[in-house]
Amino acid sequence: MTKTLCMRATALTLAIASSFPLLAQVATEVPPVLPNAKPVQVEHIKVHAESLLGNLEGEAVDRDVFVFLPPSYAANKSRRYPVVYALHGFFIGAEQWTHEIHVPQTIEGAFALGAREMIVVLPDSKSVYGGSMYSSSITTGDFEHFVAHDLVAYIDAHYRTIPVPSSRGLVGHSMGGYGVSRISMKDPGIFGSIYIMSPCCMSNIGGGPGPADQAKERAIAGEKKAAAAKSPADLAAQSPGFAAAQYAMAAAWAPDPKNPPLYFDMPTTDGAPQPEIEAKFASNSPLAFIDQYIGNLRQYKAISIDVGDQDGLRVDAGKLHDILDRYSIANSFEIYHGTHTSAVADRFQNHVLPYFSQNLCFKNCR
């Protein structure tokens, strides 16, 4: 019984961590440059996030944000525009996200191919461990509220937006797709349409690689590393890349203000499961809490989900689609040819932005 529980607790962390593909935010095929594309204006700004004040991890409160203004923005001073907010995945921030989806090129390409002009915003939600999980935590900070409230309020106050939900779209890839699913359910009335790309961390998958003894050894190794760390930065330095995923999730989903210097709890102790902490991890899986937010999901004009046919996340993406269908919530779902990242730039230009062009409100909005 103890061995089985140990496997479950360790597998929860491993399964969610393994849903961050190892090269999750690197290679992608780039659409060709279109000769008739008009340039967009790029602004790199800082947005003060009140929602992150007092976080115990020392995450920056002033966040990097990239704003892409459409070709007509500078000349047409009276025109207002819808806004699409695009959330990055784990291990990267907003700047690397711009390279992964190849903006501004893909934004310019989408407009050249007929998508209506809109503002596109890429906020940085990377934490010391590589990802905030777009969650609400005293340890990491309330990144959920930062995206849905602080950021939206700032953009509406400083740019010529159409400041109503029907003119706001939210899209994200991988951890960003998780963020879209979470924020759309828990913060209704902010965005009117959503697009979920290859979402990670949707469920407590269970299982895990290797026999129980190996799982226990990995759990103990993770605990020891955390116990020896002098600070979050110290632990992050010892856990490069996706090795830090277990700590990012613990900081986001199992915060503990009485447990310095890391201020989070691990789901195992000496390799043995801690059911209360394991339950906290599992309770942050959208497929576990979606049934509580069906009324909120009905408020969206449009919901779209996509995932590659060679992406291990396609199973849970399909389950999300099935649940929406079960509740008769209109949504589109596409499994395209590709891996986790191979088509993300193409999808952004040729699917995501045209989707928002069709579903956001551009005139007489309320």
pLDDT digits (tens, 9 = 90+) for 164-176: 999 999 999 999 9
DSSP for residue 81 = B
Higher pLDDT, 54 or 21: 54
Positive/negative CA dihedral, 73, 145, 204, 272:
positive
Mean pLDDT comparison of 10-19, 29-38, 46-55, highest-scoring range: 46-55
Q: Is the predicted pLDDT of residue 16 greater than 80, yes or no? A: no
Q: What is the structure's pLDDT at 212?
A: 60
- Quote the percentage of the chain above a pLDDT of 70: 90
Higher pLDDT, 109 or 9: 109
**Tokens linked to 112:** 């050249």
Q: Is the predicted pLDDT of residue 7 greater than 80, yes or no? A: no
Span 227-236, average pLDDT: 95
**Tokens linked to 215:** 């799982």
Instruction: Look at 4-8, 166-170, 221-225, 249-253 and tell me which has the smallest mean pLDDT.
Output: 4-8
- Quote the percentage of the chain above a pLDDT of 90: 83
CB 112, CB 38: distance < 8 Å = yes
Can you tell me the distance from the alpha carbon of 353 to that of 351, in angstroms, rounded to the nearest whole number? 6
Q: Where are the alpha helices (DSSP H) in 27-128?
A: 94-100, 105-112
Residue located via tokens 């700590």 = 247
Residue 359: closest CA among 187, 196, 197, 192: 192
Instruction: Look at 4-13, 31-40, 283-292, 305-314 and tell me which has the smallest mean pLDDT.
Output: 4-13
pLDDT band at 134; cut points 50, 70, 90: very high
Q: What is the pLDDT of residues 317-346, one digit of tens each?
A: 999 999 999 999 999 999 999 999 999 999
Q: What is the pLDDT of residues 284-311, one digit of tens each?
A: 999 999 999 999 999 999 999 999 999 9
pLDDT band at 214; cut points 50, 70, 90: confident
Q: What is the structure's pLDDT at 8?
A: 41
Q: What is the structure's pLDDT at 213?
A: 64
Span 95-108, average pLDDT: 97
Span 194-206, average pLDDT: 87
Q: Is the predicted pLDDT of residue 205 greater than 60, yes or no? A: no
CB 82, CB 169: distance < 8 Å = yes
Q: How many helices (H) and strands (E) does the chain have?
A: 15, 12
Q: How many CB atoms lie within 10 A of CB 160?
A: 15
pTM: 0.93
Q: Is the predicted pLDDT of residue 22 greater than 70, yes or no? A: no
Span 243-253, average pLDDT: 94
Q: What is the structure's pLDDT at 175?
A: 97
Residue located via tokens 């990491």 = 140
Q: Is the predicted pLDDT of residue 1 greater than 50, yes or no? A: no
Span 114-128, average pLDDT: 98
